[in-house]
Structure 1
Amino acid sequence: MPRMPRIPAYRLHKSSGQARVIIDGRHVYLGLHGSAESREAYARLIAERFTPSVRAKTLPVAVNGFPDLSINELLLRYIEFAERYYVKDGKPTKELVCMKEAMRPLRTLFGELSAQEFGPLKLKAVRQHMIDAGLSRGVINQRVNRIKRILKWGVSEELLPAAVHEGVRTVAGLRFGRSAARETEPVGPVADQWVDAVVLHVAPQVATMIELQRFTGMRPGEVVKMRPCDIDRTNDVWLYEPYDHKNRWRGHRRRIPLGPKAQTLIQPFLNRPGDDFLFSPQEAEGHRNTQRAVHRDPNRKTKIYPCELRAQEARKVQSRSRRSKRPKGQRYTSDSYRRAIAYGIAQANRSHRKAVPAKMEVPSWHPNQLRHSFATRVRKDFGVEAAQVGLGHARTDVVEVYAEKNLELAAKVARLTG
């Protein structure tokens, strides 16, 4: 049975003495609180709004030919659109989450404002709210641009006059060194010694993905999705064509050359059905359990006390509970891959602290830094164009006729380095 809509209450606005009701985030004033007129207005409004025969999405009274929507009402309509639009393979994309994060300060500051009254100064106030919250300049610019897109969508749906979007377009992005917004350090390459230290403390699946990124410069989201059926092994340099990648929606084709080193790395993982993923968290978990059993001391001399047995049993129960609630996936995601590297860094540092003499701690790094390491090395040895092609960056000044030439250059780099 469908849930009945919640009827908003008849309320007193203390500072004015007016009766009011809040519907969809908008304050509707009804007249002097307690008067017969205000109660009649309240009853009429509730009857009109919540009678089943009235459409749930009845638009408010039009102003200047456009519906008089509040910011909150506009955002609700946009979310309905975004939940249908930002979908890939039947699942919501991260862009939907990013759009909702951008909406939050807009809703907090101006949720009850008429959307037609929103302009450049109010957008700057939202931006200042983000600055005060400590967000970085890059993130702020991205979120402000998303707000502009919401208003542009409102214009395209004839929910707002074009002047609203034209006005906010005049708000330029924050420039480096020209605002109080926090600046972040640019992402740089990671030193080989820190990568080597982590490879020793992660599962073979994670270690192989790390090395593949080093040799090919592919994105984390591309390496975790590798399948045998996506790899063309016809020539001496194999070609990996991800079934899904960052720029697929733009119609770009992504082909990643795999040289001799990369081929050797993935060879042990190719013995599986063509549409299975090469790197399985389930297999990695099995490897870890095997390693624990191998390293368990069979010649223990000290007595095993009951409290230790109880603690072991409690850990087993807790571990089984976690596994039942959160089973391992068929493949790594970019996030789980990043977390696996973070685990390897923590394990490496634990080992370094125990060493005699103690070794230097491994600094934190993330998978995208491996792309920067690849780009730095290839740019130095083969030039900027080779690095650009290897990374899969599209160039606006290179037309489609040069696509095969670029692939040959990338294959040459792979043949010599990866």
Structure 2
Amino acid sequence: MARPPKVPSYSLHKPSGRAVVKVKGRSIYLGKYGSDESRDAYARIVADLLAGRPIEKPDTNRGNPTPKPSLTIGELVARFQRHADGYYRKGGKPTTEPAAIRCALKFLTDHHVGLPAADFSLGDLKVIRQAMVDAGHTRGTINKNIRRVRLAFTWAATEELLPPSVPQNLALLPGLKAGRTVAKETEPVKPVDITVVDKTLPHMPDIVADMVRLQLLTGCRPDEVCSIRPQDIDRTGEVWEYHVDGHKTEHHGKRRTVFIGPEGQKILTPYLLRPSDEFCFRPKRHIAVPKKQKRYRVDSYRQAIQRACARAFPAPKGTEGKALDEWNRRHRWAPNQVRHTAATSIRQRFGLEAAQVILGHSKADVTQVYAERDITKGREVAALIG
């Protein structure tokens, strides 16, 4: 005689506050834990199981004319990640965004992987956000990652995998505000004192020192100085123009131009005596890859600077703990701080508008008149800076 099926337990799914029952390894969500609705749904499932009937998912959204898709959170995450891996690319290569999305969505799958995606609510999103706070993420990072989570649901709705009401409801959650949350604040990137830079330069490889000097003169980003190739530089005018290929706001229709004046030209000229499609700044020792791919990348550029800082400013003997952290904070710097130093100097000498132009902070929808004004101002400032 066949044994009767085991009656599954009526359980609480803590992250969402819903009742859940597991049948043959499948999690079925029943509605709010302890509610009459969830108790009735549980009773129907047990009755069907004991009678040998097929188990149907209960309708916990009665009155909604839109049929609820069966897509789970786990399936939504997998589909959206595949989309992100193919969508966020520049120059045929993936950007850093797919990895950032993967980190954000891990919180979603850790807490709600089996939940029907159409059941994901504003309260569930708050649970995800609190998990990020508890994990020690900073307020700015949390706000960015919550936007990535919402983007996954928005994408699913545009693909007709979810009702539009789901991302619309999630959009109601405001971002964490400074001073009104226990989430940590990100330390702002501060400019590095130029005297500290000057003392560090002699301890760098000549190539890295020239990269730093060029950043100080042009205000370019670390990845921009790492990516310079002869073919990207228009040398027809008194002020050279470096047209950045694949910069971070290119998809918004913005064109990024770095202006290089006389002093910057002197630094860069020796590195232009190579094939036009090869990178200008390359380590002397490098792994065996095709020539045109050899270059300093942002990580290796930063590491070279950090090693030079350690040689230029060794901590006094016996310095440890918080004292050592404070010493390193005052004597270690990174290439993105060089850009801030350049920005501060340009703003002090030429004003905020000039700094915005040189640093590439102009808006995407500027008219041709304003664009031409920006080009003129950029050339003028670069010529004066050197």
CA 1:352 to 1:416, structure 2 compared with 1: closer, same or farther past 3 Å? farther
Aligned equivalent of 1:342: 306
Secondary structure of the 1:173 match is coil
Give the superposition deviation at 1:41: 6.8
Contact 1:12 1:20 in 2 (8 A): no
Output the CA distance in 1 between the equivalents of 2:89 and 2:99: 12
Give the superposition deviation at 1:396: 6.3
Query: Normalising to structure 1: TM-score of the pair?
Result: 0.74
Contact 1:66 1:159 in 2 (8 A): no
Q: Which amino acid in 1 is paired with 2:310? A: A
Give the superposition deviation at 1:369: 1.1
Using the aligned pairs only, state the percent identity. 40
Contact 1:13 1:19 in 2 (8 A): no
Output the CA distance in 1 between the equivalents of 2:144 and 2:154: 15
Aligned equivalent of 1:279: 281
Match of 1:244 among 223, 246, 250: 246
Aligned equivalent of 1:222: 224
Match of 2:178 among 176, 179, 183: 176
Output the CA distance in 1 between the equivalents of 2:210 and 2:274: 16
2:372 is aligned with 1:404: yes
Aligned equivalent of 1:377: 345
Give the superposition deviation at 1:36: 9.5
Contact 1:31 1:37 in 2 (8 A): no
CA 1:75 to 1:64, structure 2 compared with 1: closer, same or farther past 3 Å? same
CA 1:276 to 1:328, structure 2 compared with 1: closer, same or farther past 3 Å? closer
Output the CA distance in 2 between the equivalents of 1:172 and 1:400: 36
Match of 1:255 among 254, 257, 272: 257
2:53 is aligned with 1:89: no
Deviations 1:323-352 (A, max 9, x none): 689x99611222221222122222223498
Q: Which amino acid in 1 is paired with 2:294? A: Q
Output the CA distance in 2 between the equivalents of 1:341 and 1:252: 30
Secondary structure of the 1:256 match is strand
Give the superposition deviation at 1:271: 1.0
CA 1:374 to 1:158, structure 2 compared with 1: closer, same or farther past 3 Å? same
Deviations 1:176-216 (A, max 9, x none): 11111111222111101221222212212211111111000
2:336 is aligned with 1:368: yes
Aligned equivalent of 2:23: 20
Higher mean alpha-carbon deviation, 76-85 vs 377-386, is at: 76-85
Higher mean alpha-carbon deviation, 123-132 vs 394-403, is at: 394-403
Output the CA distance in 1 between the equivalents of 2:373 and 2:137: 42
Give the superposition deviation at 1:110: 1.3
Secondary structure of the 1:130 match is helix
Output the CA distance in 2 between the equivalents of 1:352 and 1:84: 50
* Structure 2 residue runs without a partner (length 5+): 12-20, 31-41, 56-64, 318-326
Output the CA distance in 2 between the equivalents of 1:15 and 1:148: 32
Aligned equivalent of 1:109: 111
Contact 2:118 2:162 in 1 (8 A): yes
Aligned equivalent of 1:417: 385
Deviations 1:75-120 (A, max 9, x none): 1111121122122223221100011111011111111211111111
2:295 is aligned with 1:331: yes
Aligned equivalent of 1:289: none
CA 1:146 to 1:223, structure 2 compared with 1: closer, same or farther past 3 Å? same
* Structure 1 residue runs without a partner (length 5+): 1-10, 43-62, 287-322, 354-359
Contact 2:261 2:382 in 1 (8 A): yes
CA 1:248 to 1:13, structure 2 compared with 1: closer, same or farther past 3 Å? farther
Output the CA distance in 2 between the equivalents of 1:87 and 1:237: 32
CA 1:244 to 1:169, structure 2 compared with 1: closer, same or farther past 3 Å? same
Give the superposition deviation at 1:16: 6.0
Give the superposition deviation at 1:257: 1.1
Query: Normalising to structure 2: TM-score of the pair?
Result: 0.79
Contact 1:74 1:154 in 2 (8 A): yes
CA 1:22 to 1:346, structure 2 compared with 1: closer, same or farther past 3 Å? farther
Deviations 1:109-166 (A, max 9, x none): 1112111111111111111111111111000000001111111111111111111111
Secondary structure of the 1:239 match is strand
Deviations 1:15-50 (A, max 9, x none): 469873346x87999988xx9977x979xxxxxxxx
Contact 2:69 2:118 in 1 (8 A): no
Alignment of 1:7-406 (within 5 A): 15=9, 20-22=23-25, 64-281=66-283, 283=284, 285=285, 330-350=294-314, 363-395=331-363, 398-406=366-374
Q: Which amino acid in 1 is paired with 2:299? A: D
Output the CA distance in 2 between the equivalents of 1:381 and 1:12: 79
Give the superposition deviation at 1:261: 1.0
Output the CA distance in 1 between the equivalents of 2:6 and 2:207: 63
Give the superposition deviation at 1:247: 1.4
CA 1:324 to 1:241, structure 2 compared with 1: closer, same or farther past 3 Å? closer
Secondary structure of the 2:151 match is helix
